Amino acid sequence: MQVRQLGLVEYLPAFKAMQAFTADRSATRTPTTAPNTLQVGLQPNENMGDQLWICEHPPVYTQGLAGKVEHVLNPGNIPVVPTDRGGQVTFHGPGQVVAYPLMDLKAAGYYVKEYVYRVEEAVIRTLAHFGVTGHRVTGAPGIYVRLGDPFSHAIRDKADTSFVGLGKIAALGIKISRHCTYHGVALNVAMDLEPFSRINPCGFAGLQTVDLRTIGVSAGWQEAADMFSQKLVHYLAP
């Protein structure tokens, strides 16, 4: 998997570029130029094989296919962009590592459920590198941490589907087209979290959102991005 660090890019051009990349490879399975990819720094004829795009976005709310308008409480001057990924509304902003794995799952040899598990595992292992214990919540994709003690290694009961005592640190939203993935996962590192209070994050009213900084981890964006990239490449391998 080729890792491409795109820097700070507007959300909509990145979204269109992912669509173009995926449509091109799934339709022909041969490298051709997708013009929209040029808007996020890709060069002609680089549309070959699996890629991992790592970036930040300026402030934006993105609404998934299952999104309900009532979950967008008060967007203010932050744009709300409809997308074709799964899930509800979330927020992207500077200080968040956004990862877009563009994979052919058929070639990788596993299915969507395992793909989601592997992406979440990459988040958990990245958090572990910084001493933080990440948790899954059944029926709520993404990764959560214990607000009272994010460094505790106590195992969470898998039957517990509540968010009591938890904060969300990574959101997941994907799209599969002809076995090929796009959209992805966002890990909160050191960002302005206030915009999350203007939505019901991922459709859950009152769900608290946190980042590494607010739970006591001093890590730069690049450090977190590099570690997260390594873990994604490792855990998404065929």
Residues 6+ away with beta carbon under 8 Å from 233:
1, 3, 52
**Of the listed 9, 89, 98, 202, which one is catalytic?**
202
Q: Which regions of the chain does DSSP assign to beta strands (E)?
A: 2-8, 51-56, 60-63, 80-82, 89-92, 96-102, 135-137, 140-146, 166-177, 180-188
Its sign, for the CA torsion 12, 15, 19, 25, is positive
What is the CA angle 87-91-97, rounded to 5? Answer: 100
d(CA 34, CA 23): 9
User: Residue 134 in contact with residue 144, Cβ under 8 Å?
Assistant: yes
Catalytic status, residue 180: no
Helices (H), ranges, 32-111: 105-108
User: Residue 57 in contact with residue 92, Cβ under 8 Å?
Assistant: yes
Q: Just list the catalytic residues.
A: 202
